[in-house]
Each structure stands twice: as structure tokens, then as C-alpha cells.
């Protein structure tokens, strides 16, 4: 197509659009409901979904948007009620053409925990024909829920029995769910840091216990000393080597100075089975190399996961014990370093774990299995994962250094995690990886350099802010829904950010992009709007633009690489196509638009730091202060 024909096509299409926001109006043919499994489903973390019992009824909704090719399924009615009136959702996906609600079966009731229970199945009912019983005490894993009925008389009977009021879809604002968009996770950071400080302070008090036994003077072996020590006292290990394995079954403190506990090369060296135990100032050697339990009752999904990840040989294993301190402990391990199973208010600090040279041959530096630890000021070299968590809701991982492993921090089924101010260098796959769709993750102020992926995210309501990511194949992904990505410095990567959500709902503002081969890569999905009002991002190459910037556009994506792209971007046909894409959602698939690109970086100093990391003129050790 030559330029004259292209311009004619553009003008024709613009005339058809008439300057309106969308070509397809809400009055066009409305699709009926489909099988929920065929929708783009959102709502509830995987852990929350797993917690829904077979007999529990979870109210759901389906919405067909005028400019989105898929029907969106909502697990929960509050988010659906919010989205259909959200201006950003309409900008990206069009108007809601059809909304269907899964109304409850005839035998629905509320159990003692507030869950809706029913023996039958619900049916899909148009939203404007549905009656919602609100304030009845009914709950889902996400909180209170309206109870939808296809018949008003049934709704009135339910309210008579359980209390509450009846609302219609026109009253949906009264039960629409608030959308924190990552703000809640951001606001939680300071509170979680204070709680971590309190846990660390309390754990450190275990080091103040009076020394009751000196190994070698008062008792011949370390195990003899543990067996003889009164609760609440300390056992001192003078410089030397001490035989393990040992088991600690009482609240005591092991404190050493140039002391090494050596295992039998066939098992865990120190096993802790009592609350309020501290291990400090020791080196550990002679750790076994088994990565799996010999015998574990592996019935059920969670037990199978525990067998796979929670029973490897380790320098220290903590089994169902709370308020444990591991401080100033160093070890080389062919398996894991420190394993926690079902431990609360425990701390790992000022320690180092040197794992297997080939990550596939080893295991984890710290395993937190259902254990919301604080892991801080420690170094994890090689091995598989520096810190691995499983259902460790509220874990805090801060001020650590991860070098040459597979993942620095690996979060599995772990909501409300805080990963702050860590340095991950030369990881094989990722600096910080979030899997299995948790909620409320906060990943802040980390430095990630020289890895395949910097921080691949997932889940919802996350806050990813203040990170410096350089020299990766892909720095960040926006797979977390309803999340906030802000003030990240993304420099010298093959791909800066990957826009990967099929139903994008996150806020991406005040980030700095420079020296990336491609600032953004977008996968299948509609328009992603990466600006909020007059606040956008800084894009190298887009400074000085007096228009919106599209980093996925074939021309715009080259503005920071060639001067010719700037000339081409001002051509009439390109301007016309850009205007068309800006007014017709159906023409803007697989793209990102920043309506308010910044003229100046958010943090120019951090850009220079990231450039130095990417080109090798500065080391992560220098930048991270380790």
C-alpha cells in the first residue's frame, strides 16, 4: 500500500469512527453466558481457590465487553460490580454488552463459618434480572459477598432468615469491591518492616542467656551438653570441631566462636524441635546430600509438596518449633541450608549458605514451609534457590545477597510477602520469582543484575516498586493483576517489561526505561494503558514528545535506537494511524500506550547506576554494599 492509499484508508476509517470512543456500542448483539471454564477467569488466589470446599457455593459473574474478544469470568461479584463501571476498564475493553450472574440453587444456606453451601448447581441469570441479598453474613475467601437470586421471593426468604437487605444490579455500587491496585501492599510495607524488626529484636534476646555449660569442660560432647542444659540457658562451644548430628529438644542457645559442628555426611546436622532455640556463631559441615524424605505420609497435595521441598538434608532443620534464631551461622551444603517446617516468629540473620556448584544438583539456602520467617543480612551462593517459601504468608526477606543460583527468592503460594533491598547477581533464571498467584506481594528496592528474567510476577494486588534491574533477557513482567508497578529503573535489558496479562488491570507509572533493546514486549491482549492521568513513565527516546507514546509501536519502539524513527513518526500516514489506534480499541491489540510520557527520569542517579551495572563498570557488590 502506497502512502496516498494508506492516508485515504486512514481518513475513511476515522470518518466511520466519528471521533467516538468505540465502534461497537452496548446496544449491539449481546452474547449469552458460556461455561465458566471457557472464560478469562479472575479473582481469588490459587490458594483461596484450593480452600473452597466441594459443597461451598462461590458466587460468580460473566461479563462480555464490546471490544474484548473473550468473556471475562469473575470469581466473586464485588470485582465484577466495580469493573463494569470502571473508566479504565471501559477504555481498554469497551462497554459491558452482557453481564450474567450465577444465581444460587434453591437449597442454599450459610454454614457456621459464613460460607454459602448448596447441594445443587447455580444457573446463569442476566444481571438486571438478579436480586442480591446483601449484609447477610455470607462470606467467600475474599470477604463478605452478596447472595444472588433469580427470584425475588427466594431472596426475601433468605433475608428473613439471615438478615440483610435486597439490592438489584442498578444498586451494584453498594457491593462493589474496592480495588487497591497494589496500594494496600505498598501501605503494608512499613508496617511489615516494623513487625520484622520486633521479631528480630525478640529473637536476638535469646543470645543474652547465661552460659551454663561449656562443651569440653562441663560435658564431653555437644549432645551431652544439650541433654544436660537447663531450659533458658546457653551452651558455649569454644574454638574447635564438634561431632553431630545433634537434636535440640529444649529452649537453649548454642553459641560458638570459631566452632564447627560436623555431621555424618548422611543427614541433617542440627535438628531443632523446641521453641525459643538459638544457634549462633557456628560453622556447619558434613551435611547429607539427600533432597527428598525417605518416608513421609504424602497423602494430599500439601503433604506431597512438603515431601518434595521440606525434607531434604540440611545444616539445620526446624520442625514445628517457634521463635527460633539462626544467627552468624556459615555452611557449605550439597542439599539445603536451613529448613523450617511450621515455625512462627523465627529469624535467619547474618548467615551464609554456599550451595551446590550446579544448581540442579543442590537445593535451597532457606526453606520456609508454612513459616513466615524474617531472613535478613545473609549471603546465599550457588545452589538452587536462595530463599524458597511455601504458604509462608507474611514472610520478610530483606537485605540479603544472592549469587549464582537458580532463583534468588522463590515464592510459592505465599501471600503478603515482603522482598526488600536484596541484591541478586548472576542467577540462572530469576532474581525474584513469584508463582502460584498469591495476593499482596511487595517487591521493593532490590537490585537484580545479569539473569534471564529479573522479576517475573504473578497473582494480584502486588506492589513492585523501586527496583533496579539491569542486564537481563527480560527485566519485569506485568502478570500480576490489579497491581502497582512504579519507580523501577529498567536499564540495559533485552526486554524491559513484558505486558503479559490477558486481562490487564495494573497501574504502571513513574518507571524509568533506558538502553533496553526493546522497552516493552506485549503478548496477546487488548490495549494496556501505562499512565494515570498526567503521570506516565520515562522512556529513553520519547523525551520531548508532545503526544502519547507507544513503546510497542513499530516506529515508537525505535525512537531510542535511531534518529530516523523520529522523522518517520512525524509522517502524516503514521500520525493518522496513531490517531486511529488511539480512538478505536479493536485496532489496538497487543499494545501499550503511555498517554503522558515523562520528559525527565524519575531517578536519574539510579539510571546511571544501572548503566554502570549493565556495562560492567560497577559491580553489584559495590552497588549493594556487600
pLDDT at 539 over 80: yes
User: What pLDDT, on a 0 to 100 scale, did the predictor assign at position 13?
Assistant: 34
Name the more confident of 6 and 169.
169
* Residue range 167-198, pLDDT digits in tens: 999 999 999 987 677 999 999 999 999 999 99
- With left for phi above 0 and alpha for psi between -120 and 50, is residue 336 left, alpha or beta? beta
Q: According to DSSP H, which parts of 433-589 are helical?
A: 563-569, 572-583
Mean pLDDT of 466-483: 95
Question: Which whole number is the average pLDDT over 453-464?
Answer: 95
What does the mean pLDDT of the chain come to?
Answer: 89
Band (302; pLDDT cuts 50, 70, 90): low
Which pLDDT does position 590 carry in this prediction? 65
Query: In the prediction, which pLDDT does 15 show?
Result: 34
Which string of DSSP letters, residue by residue, matches 541-575?
TTTT-SS-B-TTSTTGGGTTT-HHHHHHHTSHHHH
pLDDT tens-digit readout, 273-288? 999 999 999 999 999 9
The answer to whether 243 and 259 have CB atoms below 8 angstroms apart is no
Range 318-338 average pLDDT: 98
Strands 347-349 and 330-332: unpaired
Q: How confident is the model at residue 128 (pLDDT cuts 50, 70, 90)?
A: very high
Please report, for the chain, the start and end positions of each structural domain, with discontinuous segments joined by +. 39-174, 180-208+291-511+602-626
Is 90 exceeded by the pLDDT of residue 150?
yes
Provide the pLDDT confidence category of residue 436 given band limits of 50, 70 and 90. confident
**432 and 472 Cβ atoms separated by less than 8 Å:** no
**Cell numbers 520515562: residue:** 538
| pLDDT tens profile 545-559 | 888 999 998 888 888
Region 451-461 average pLDDT: 95
Read off the pLDDT of residues 218-253 as tens digits, 9 standing for 90 and up: 999 999 999 999 999 999 999 999 999 999 999 999
pLDDT over 50 (residue 149): yes
- What does the pLDDT read at residue 523? 83
Tell me the CA distances in angstroms from 77 to 34, 58, 83, 100, one per residue in order.
Answer: 17, 9, 10, 10
CB 353 within 8 A of CB 331: yes
pLDDT at 580: 55
Q: How confident is the model at residue 27 (pLDDT cuts 50, 70, 90)?
A: very low
Tell me the mean pLDDT in the region 127-143: 94
Q: Angle between the 572-583 and 3-17 helix axes, to the nearest 10 degrees?
A: 30
Fold of the CATH domain 180-208+291-511+602-626: Pectate Lyase C-like (2.160.20)
> Residue 53: what pLDDT?
80
Backbone phi, psi, residue 608, to 5°: -65, -40
Mean local confidence (pLDDT), 353-368? 97
* Res 298 pLDDT > 70: no
Percent of the chain with pLDDT over 90: 72
- State the pLDDT confidence band at 160, using cuts at 50, 70 and 90: very high
| pLDDT tens figures, 199-223 | 999 999 999 999 999 999 999 999 9
Residue range 406-420: average pLDDT? 96
Amino acid at each position: 500500500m502506497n502512502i496516498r492509499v494508506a492516508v485515504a484508508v486512514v481518513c475513511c476509517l476515522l470518518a466511520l469512527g466519528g471521533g467516538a470512543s468505540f465502534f461497537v456500542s452496548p446496544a449491539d448483539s449481546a452474547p449469552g453466558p458460556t461455561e465458566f471454564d471457557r472464560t478469562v477467569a479472575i479473582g481469588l488466589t490459587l490458594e483461596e481457590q484450593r480452600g473452597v470446599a466441594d459443597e461451598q457455593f462461590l458466587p460468580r459473574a460473566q461479563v462480555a465487553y464490546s471490544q474484548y474478544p473473550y468473556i471475562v469470568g469473575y470469581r466473586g461479584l464485588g470485582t465484577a460490580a466495580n469493573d463494569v463501571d470502571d473508566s479504565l476498564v471501559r477504555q481498554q475493553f469497551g462497554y459491558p454488552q452482557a453481564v450474567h450472574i450465577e444465581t444460587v440453587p434453591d437449597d442454599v444456606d450459610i454454614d457456621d463459618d459464613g460460607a454459602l453451601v448448596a447441594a445443587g448447581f447455580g444457573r446463569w441469570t442476566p444481571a438486571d434480572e438478579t436480586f442480591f441479598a446483601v449484609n447477610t453474613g455470607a462470606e467467600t475467601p475474599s470477604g463478605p459477598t452478596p447472595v444472588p437470586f433469580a427470584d425475588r421471593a427466594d431472596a426475601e426468604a433468605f433475608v428473613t432468615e439471615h438478615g440483610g437487605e435486597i439490592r438489584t444490579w442498578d444498586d451494584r455500587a453498594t457491593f462493589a469491591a474496592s480495588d487497591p491496585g497494589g496500594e494496600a501492599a505498598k501501605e503494608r510495607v512499613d508496617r511489615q518492616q516494623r513487625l520484622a524488626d520486633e521479631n528480630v529484636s525478640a529473637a536476638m534476646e535469646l543470645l543474652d542467656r547465661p552460659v551454663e555449660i561449656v562443651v569440653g569442660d562441663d560435658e564431653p560432647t555437644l549432645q551431652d551438653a544439650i541433654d544436660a542444659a537447663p531450659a533458658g540457658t546457653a551452651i558455649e562451644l569454644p574454638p574447635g570441631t564438634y561431632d553431630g548430628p545433634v537434636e535440640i529438644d529444649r529452649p537453649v542457645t548454642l553459641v560458638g566462636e570459631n566452632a564447627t559442628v560436623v555431621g555424618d555426611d548422611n543427614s541433617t546436622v542440627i535438628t531443632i524441635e523446641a521453641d525459643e532455640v538459638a544457634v549462633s556463631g557456628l560453622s556447619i559441615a558434613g551435611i547429607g546430600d539427600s533432597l527428598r524424605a525417605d518416608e513421609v505420609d504424602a497423602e494430599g497435595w500439601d503433604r506431597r509438596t512438603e515431601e518434595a521441598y521440606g525434607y531434604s538434608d540440611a545444616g539445620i532443620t526446624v520442625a514445628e518449633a517457634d521463635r527460633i534464631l539462626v544467627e552468624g551461622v556459615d555452611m557449605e551444603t550439597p542439599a539445603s541450608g536451613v529448613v523450617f517446617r511450621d515455625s512462627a516468629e523465627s529469624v535467619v540473620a547474618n548467615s551464609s549458605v554456599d550451595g551446590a556448584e550446579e544448581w540442579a544438583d543442590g537445593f535451597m539456602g532457606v526453606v520456609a514451609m508454612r513459616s513466615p520467617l524474617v531472613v535478613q543480612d545473609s549471603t546465599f551462593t550457588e545452589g538452587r534457590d536462595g530463599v524458597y517459601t511455601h504458604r509462608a504468608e507474611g514472610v520478610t526477606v530483606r537485605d540479603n545477597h544472592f549469587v549464582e543460583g537458580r532463583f534468588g527468592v522463590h515464592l510459592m503460594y505465599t501471600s503478603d510477602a515482603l522482598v526488600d533491598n536484596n541484591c541478586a547477581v548472576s542467577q540462572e533464571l530469576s532474581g525474584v520469582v513469584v508463582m502460584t498467584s498469591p495476593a499482596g506481594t511487595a517487591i521493593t528496592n532490590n537490585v537484580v543484575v545479569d539473569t534471564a528474567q529479573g522479576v517475573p510476577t504473578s497473582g494480584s494486588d502486588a506492589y513492585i516498586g523501586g527496583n533496579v534491574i539491569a542486564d537481563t533477557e527480560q527485566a519485569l513482567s506485568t502478570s500480576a493483576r490489579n497491581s502497582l508497578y512504579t519507580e523501577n529503573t529498567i536499564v540495559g535489558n533485552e526486554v524491559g517489561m513484558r505486558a503479559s496479562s490477558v486481562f490487564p488491570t495494573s497501574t504502571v507509572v513513574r518507571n524509568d526505561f533506558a538502553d533496553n533493546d526493546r522497552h516493552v514486549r506485549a503478548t496477546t491482549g487488548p490495549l494496556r494503558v501505562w499512565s494515570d492521568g498526567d503521570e506516565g513513565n520515562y522512556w529513553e527516546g520519547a523525551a520531548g514528545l508532545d503526544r502519547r507514546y507507544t513503546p510497542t509501536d513499530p516506529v515508537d519502539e525505535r525512537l531510542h535506537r535511531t534518529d530516523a524513527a523520529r522523522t518517520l513518526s512525524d509522517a502524516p500516514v503514521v500520525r493518522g494511524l496513531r490517531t486511529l489506534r488511539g480512538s478505536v480499541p479493536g485496532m489496538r491489540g497487543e499494545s501499550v500506550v503511555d498517554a503522558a510520557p515523562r520528559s525527565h527520569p524519575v531517578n536519574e542517579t539510579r539510571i546511571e547506576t544501572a548503566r554502570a551495572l549493565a556495562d560492567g563498570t560497577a559491580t553489584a557488590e559495590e552497588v549493594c554494599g556487600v
